[in-house]
Structure 1
């Protein structure tokens, strides 16, 4: 998926990996130093909204995924 010409706080519509159109809005919270992505499948709006948050903790990037009360966290470490 290519997210091209995305601007903070403005909705963006594009095809996602599931081949459906999604609307994503990215916001930055400078107080918490976190990038937040709100994501809705426009072809299945009743599925609800996904929320992704990206932050840096020490030497790792942390990706937190939330959907329908379920939370998953992924940790990425730069190598090299």
Structure 2
């Protein structure tokens, strides 16, 4: 599964979890665009990820982390967060 597909799945899951419809994103994107993202047909910019996450009411990293966990569930949340923590501290 490519990252754009897992990001689309993460967006769909978060949207449903927060009881939102695709139409509820009209303030940041068209329903057609959200649908294309959820089906993995398009890859959003980092700005669009921030806008979508803001509409859901979550941090953009939550959406991105969820996508990587969907893509590779064996790594687990703790493993992924530890990797990111180590890499971020190197900067």
Q: State the TM bucket, normalised to the shorter chain.
A: under 0.3
From the two aligned structures, give the one with the greater helix fraction: 2
In the superposition, the TM-score normalised over structure 1's length comes to: 0.24
Which structure exhibits the higher relative contact order, with contacts defined as CA atoms closer than 8 Å and separated by 6 or more residues?
2
In the superposition, the TM-score normalised over structure 2's length comes to: 0.23
